[in-house]
Amino acid sequence: MTRPRTLLVDDPVLERSPFGSSHPFRAERGALTRALLEACGALHQDEVADVERLDERLLGAVHEQAYLEALIRAGRGERVDDARMFGLGTSDCPVVPGMHRVAMRAADATVSAAELVASGAAQRAVHLTGGLHHAHRARASGFCLVNDLALAIEHLTRRRGLRVAYVDVDVHHGDGVQGIFWERADVLTVSVHQSGRTLFPGTGAEDEIGAGAGRGFAVNLPLAPFIDDAGYLAAFDALVPTALSAFGPDVIVLQAGADAHWRDPLAQLSLSGDGLDAVYGRVIDLAERCCEGRMVVTGGGGYDAWRSVPRAWARLWARLAERELPDELPETWRRAWGERLGVSLPTRLREGTLPDLDARATERAASHALAVAKRVAARLTPLWRRED
């Protein structure tokens, strides 16, 4: 029997940023990655799935109605007197005409990906422009208006009856998703991120473990700046596999932010392209071990938008779809998209230049991360066993 395919969920609307062309959030990253995959022969047309409209009742299960109404009014150009109370009209989430439509379409796409996996139409489904993990129930935050991840998880759990492990490797803490499922025992949230002591949103400490029925089901691994590939992977291995094995998910939802890369201008971790690829590979391997490979995958952060992100996400797709990518990137892709974006695109898949890291700083960060991972595992293992 042929295994269900890996599918990419995409739509032309998703090339637009909800915040306009001058904002750091560049939605074109998804289209740029898709074009790269197509140019390499690693993505075929029959592997691209359409976006379906989500049931609006699902929105109300995740976001408060007053916030949704404020978002829609703002996007329509109507006056919203209490906009900032809802996180709108800030430097992170400026009010732009049509912003609500773009945000809703991104949510549609991630929920569509979730349904493809839940229905068995795909083993793995990917939406690169999703991963908007900072949106809260009643406010926008951190470039995120509608929490597409929480909507997909709500669909998988409440409507499909599945246990979901959410793994977030974006450099920023997945605070919105964690908060929405803070008291839920059918959702495990795992976030590996730069410590909130040094980076937005200021949350994700190791003692944030959930509450009520969800106590023990929020797992956080905060990292010090300048951690490199080896230190990151050692800490990941000391905590994440144990957590997922104990939880026993039916499906893994991965937020595959690429902003832990050393070139990212908005953070201070020091992973290479190979390091990001290894992290993604570990989550894929865990899905194979824990839930027969079932995954819903989104992009997320990544603000070195033209060099680091498309290469990282192309390698992610290649792992998911079991494809090979050439190291020399197609000139047709570089020329067409370089002219369109007004940038110089990389010539090779793998980096030729790596950062000159301070050995003592990376060693300290690695030692700290491993100690945190071991403390979190020791604290939560008894709670996981209790639930068993």
Q: Which residues are catalytic?
A: 134
Hey, which residues does 218 pair with through a beta bridge? Answer: 189
Nearest to 29 by CA among 265, 299, 262: 299
List of residues 6+ apart from 325 with CB closer than 8 A: 40, 42, 314, 315, 318, 349
CB 87 within 8 A of CB 64: no
CB-count burial class (<10 Å; 0-12, 13-18, 19+) for 97? exposed
**H or E segment and range at residue 296:** strand 295-298
With tokens 């409440």, the residue in question is 158
Ramachandran angles phi, psi of 278, nearest 5°: -65, -40
β-sheet with 122-127: strand ranges across: 48-49, 5-9, 122-127, 295-298, 251-255, 164-168, 187-194, 218-223
AA identity, residue 386 = R
List of residues 6+ apart from 75 with CB closer than 8 A: 95, 96, 97, 98, 99, 100, 101
Cis peptide before 201 (omega within 30 of 0): yes
CB 303 within 8 A of CB 342: no
Based on C-alpha coordinates, what's the Rg of the chain?
19
Q: C-alpha distances in angstroms, 297 versus 146, 162, 214, 230?
A: 17, 16, 23, 24
